[in-house]
């Protein structure tokens, strides 16, 4: 199939509503339907695919998102890298609401999510040690700071199941572990991108201080999250559109395809006759 996109963005309708000549395409996947149609556009001369992870009217809660279908859809359209902005809470007092964090690590506290493409017959173990691409992260940090936004250039995001927020005990636990950010969607989304060889970068938009674990702050609620997120909406749109124009012309420099060659775990040498999953969509 002709490649329809090279860069994917998981986000809301606000991104593609800013653009002209947007095409809407429906993508079928082996894992069922994605969260919505995919919206194709051109930004800074690059072919872009936008997909709202919660659906265009935000009707899919985080624990019900079909992450495998969303990621497969992006890769099947030709995307080699993914920009993944999200709303998030802060677990550390110096990471304030309104700040952006470009995360470099995640901790998975979800349960029951379909979180791998590799169900056999070739046993495959993909390392998530460096899920977030360092080149994409550096470009994101530079772009955010150029827009005058306070940006933390690294941070660990702990991903909870949702849709509930943390208890105070849980929030205290995460805080004392030294993690900076809490969110409900980065896992398995970012890891699945790596499984299909796509580079991925996360930009966390800090909306609150989680469950009021910090002295003098209130426990998070959905109204307050939405209020701060909306105040940041125009900022993240501008950052993402600017970041697209700064991405390398050769996106193979930020893909993770090469690392997948060493993931076969069934004790046999890989041969040219093996049909590996990550090669199907190339």
Residues belonging to the active site: 208, 210
- Helices 134-146 and 222-246 sit at what angle, rounded to 10 degrees? 110
Give 19's contacts (C-beta < 8 A, 6+ positions apart).
41, 42, 43
Distance CA 225, CA 209 (A): 10
Distance in Å from the first CA to the final CA of the chain: 10
Please give the structure tokens belonging to residue 124.
């495959």
Q: Where are the beta strands (DSSP E) in the chain?
A: 7-10, 23-25, 38-43, 46-51, 81-90, 100-101, 105-109, 151-152, 156-160, 181-183, 199-208
Gap between the Cα atoms of 280 and 275, Å rounded:
8
Three-state SS for 42?
strand
List all residues 6 or more positions away from 88 whose beta carbon is below 8 Å from its beta carbon.
101, 157, 181, 182, 183, 204, 205, 206, 207
C-alpha angle 9-253-4 in degrees, rounded to nearest 5: 40
Phi, psi of 261 (to 5 degrees): -65, -20
CA atoms within 13 A on the CB side of 108: 15
């Amino acid at each position: 199939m002709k490649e329809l996109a090279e860069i994917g963005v998981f986000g809301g309708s606000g991104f593609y509503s800013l653009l002209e000549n947007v095409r809407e395409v429906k993508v079928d996947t082996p894992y069922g339907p994605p969260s919505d149609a995919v919206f194709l556009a051109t930004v800074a001369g690059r072919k872009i695919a936008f997909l709202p992870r919660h659906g265009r009217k935000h009707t899919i809660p985080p624990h019900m998102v079909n992450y495998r279908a969303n990621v497969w859809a992006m890769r099947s359209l030709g995307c080699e890298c993914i920009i993944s902005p999200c709303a998030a809470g802060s677990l550390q007092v110096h990471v304030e609401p309104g700040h952006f964090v470009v995360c470099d690590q995640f901790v998975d506290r979800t349960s029951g999510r379909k979180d791998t493409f590799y169900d056999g017959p070739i046993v495959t173990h993909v390392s998530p040690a460096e899920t977030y691409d360092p080149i994409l992260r550096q470009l994101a940090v530079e772009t955010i700071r150029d827009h005058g936004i306070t940006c933390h250039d690294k941070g660990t995001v702990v991903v909870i199941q949702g849709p509930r927020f943390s208890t105070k005990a849980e929030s205290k636990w995460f805080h004392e572990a030294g993690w900076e950010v809490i969110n409900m969607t980065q896992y398995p989304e970012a890891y699945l991108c790596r499984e299909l060889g796509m580079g991925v970068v996360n930009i966390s938009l800090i909306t609150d201080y989680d469950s009021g674990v910090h002295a003098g702050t209130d426990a998070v609620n959905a109204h307050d999250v939405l209020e701060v997120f909306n105040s940041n909406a125009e900022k993240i749109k501008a950052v993402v559109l600017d970041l697209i124009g700064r991405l390398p012309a050769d996106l193979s420099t930020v893909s993770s395809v090469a690392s997948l060659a060493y993931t076969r775990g069934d004790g046999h040498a890989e041969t040219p006759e093996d049909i590996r999953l990550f090669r199907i969509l190339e």
